[in-house]
Amino acid sequence: MIDTVGLECSSYAPLPAKFEAGTPNVAGVIGLGAALGWIEGIGRATIAAHEKALVEYAVQRLSALEGVSVVGAPAERAGVVSFVMDGVHPHDIGTILDEYGIAIRGGHHCAQPLMARLGVVATARASFGAYSTSEEVDALVDGLHAVRRVFPL
């Protein structure tokens, strides 16, 4: 990235070289190749179908819980489900679920204008991927029962 370096002044290489300092992320490239191989081995269509079924199952299970509301009803969902629980801040949901080994995201998800439009301060968000299982959805629901024991309706 440097053309010349002196005690009183330095000059930079021309674009784009002046922004290319450091060692390339060789390990990251190798890891990306392995991840792409894994995805292609399963098949993108298979992964998409699995995630779709899992998200539908999660929406069904979460919607059946008293005091839990799934946020949004898009025609097609990605592998995430956002929800709120009456009387419980999403950070509290996340903290309690963590005690059961269940990881979710709680917060405004860098979407504060959307949260304001929805009339909520934050949401809890569960994410699902090719590696996720219906048993993990069941564990999430069981964990939410534990949250409700701490924060009864």
Element (H, E) at 74: none
Please state which of the ranges 8-22, 38-52, 105-119 shows the lowest mean pLDDT. 8-22
Q: How far is CA 63 from CA 67, 76, 84, 98, in A?
A: 9, 17, 10, 21
Q: Which residues contact 4 (CB under 8 A, 6 or more apart)?
A: 10, 11
Task: Look at the pTM and tell me if it is higher than 0.95.
Answer: no
pLDDT value at residue 18: 83
pLDDT of residue 4: 85
Residue-level pLDDT at 13: 87
Query: For 23-51, b where at least 16 C-beta lie within 10 A, e where not — what string?
Result: eeeeeeeeeeeeeeeeeeeeeeeeeeebb
Could you give the residue numbers annotated as active site?
Answer: 110
Give the mean model confidence (pLDDT) for residues 23-50.
95
Range(s) within the chain of domains with CATH label 3.90.1150.10? 43-150
User: Is the pLDDT reported for residue 17 higher than 90?
Assistant: no
CATH code of the domain occupying 43-150: 3.90.1150.10
Q: What percent of the chain has pLDDT over 90?
A: 78
Q: What is the pLDDT of residues 114-126, one digit of tens each?
A: 999 999 999 999 9
pLDDT of 71 over the 90 cut:
yes
